[in-house]
Amino acid sequence: MTAVNPSVGESFRRRLLGGVASSLRRGCGLGTGRYARDVGNVYYQPGQARSRRVEDLFARIARRYDLLNDLQSLGLHRGWKRRFVRMAEVKEGDRALDLCCGTGDIAKALADAGASVVGLDFSEPMLEVARSRSAARGNSAAGRMAFCRGDAQSIPFPEASFDVVTVAYGLRNLADWELGLEEMWRVLRPGGRLLVMDCGKPGNPIWRGLYYAYLKCWVPLLGRVVGGDAQAYSYILESLKYYAAQEGVTRKLSELGSPDVLEVNLMGGAMSLHRGRKGEGGR
């Protein structure tokens, strides 16, 4: 039988109650003006200074990132990511770049599908988790993965280097998401696929209100209880506020020259997947 340390249970209980109490104190207002004020967040800063804050945030949560992702989405993100990778239509031998790769789960799925993959992220602690996972697997797909540190807004590769370029839950975090998409487009070869997955803004106002309330109340509470940091998780809603989401990504991919843009909305638009293609002529 496993001995249970009573102080661990007690500390968890205190954090849970403390989290509920402070969430209730702050309230869960749904109006955009009210929520904009309430979720004002230490990790959000306008302009390019934002990158430093975002880097701090992911350095803090790297070790618990995957657990919290599973808890927040009840594991659903795994299925969404499988669908996202299928949309990339990877062929054996494709070269793929996964931006804002975090702990490397999209890179791994792309490699399993037959691609040689570079995962790029600016957070060294997130990359450490990705590298140690990949080393622990030690199979042939792991041998097709490499991880490097870099800024998604200034991708350190020449133009037309990749058949597939992906970003999952990363674009929203960039100081300039349009610049991020322009960079992805630049390194995509003619005929290649560009894929974006991120939180969206549901069109239905009731569902949108419920979803924002969930991001505002439940997600930071989980972050506080499990990750010890509510602010890091209230950042999701804060960043969504400044992100053009599905409409903006579809528009930008068309402007970049994608002859067709596939937009898939999941959970009533709470999540969205996009695929653009670069024509063989290079546009």
Ligand X SMILES: C[S@@+](CC[C@H](N)C(=O)[O-])C[C@H]1O[C@@H](n2cnc3c(N)ncnc32)[C@H](O)[C@@H]1O
Write out the residues near ligand X by the rule CB under 6 A. 51, 54, 58, 100-102, 105-106, 121-123, 126, 151-153, 168-170, 173-174
Cβ-based nearer residue to ligand X, 249 or 282: 249
Q: Kindly state the smallest distance separating residue 278's Cβ from ligand X, in Å.
A: 22
Beta carbon nearer to ligand X, 2 or 273: 273
CB of 26 to ligand X, least distance (A): 23
Structure tokens at 27: 């309230």
Closest CA to 85 of 218, 196, 204, 222: 196
38 vs 176, beta carbon nearer ligand X: 176
Closest contact distance (angstroms) between CB of 236 and ligand X is: 8
Q: How far is the CB of 80 from ligand X (least distance, A)?
A: 9
* Minimal distance, residue 1 CB to ligand X, in Å: 37
**Minimum gap (Å) between residue 100 Cβ and ligand X:** 3
Nearer CB in complex with ligand X: 30/142: 142
CB nearer to ligand X: pick between 69 and 258: 69
Q: Which is nearer to ligand X, 101 or 225 (CB)?
A: 101
Q: What secondary structure does DSSP assign to the chain, as a single string?
A: -----HHHHHHHHHHHHHHHHHHHHH----SHHHHHHHT--TT--SSTTHHHHHHHHHHHHGGGHHHHHHHHHTTHHHHHHHHHHHHT---TT-EEEEET-TTSHHHHHHHHTT-EEEEEES-HHHHHHHHHHHHHH-SHHHHTEEEEE--TTS-SS-TT-EEEEEEES-GGGSS-HHHHHHHHHHHEEEEEEEEEEEE---SSHHHHHHHHHIIIIIHHHHHHHHHS-HHHHHHHHHHHHT--HHHHHHHHHHHHT-S-EEEEEEGGGTEEEEEEE--TT--
Give the whole-angstrom CA distance, residue 74 versus residue 272: 17
Query: CB of 252: closest distance to ligand X in angstroms?
Result: 17
Nearer CB in complex with ligand X: 26/137: 137
For residue 209, give both structure tokens: 């209100």
Compute the least distance from the CB of residue 55 to ligand X, in Å. Answer: 6
Paired with 98 in beta bridges are: 119, 166
Question: Which residue, judged by CB position, is nearest to ligand X in the bound state?
Answer: 102
Distance CA 231, CA 42 (A): 7
CB closer to ligand X, 119 vs 276: 119
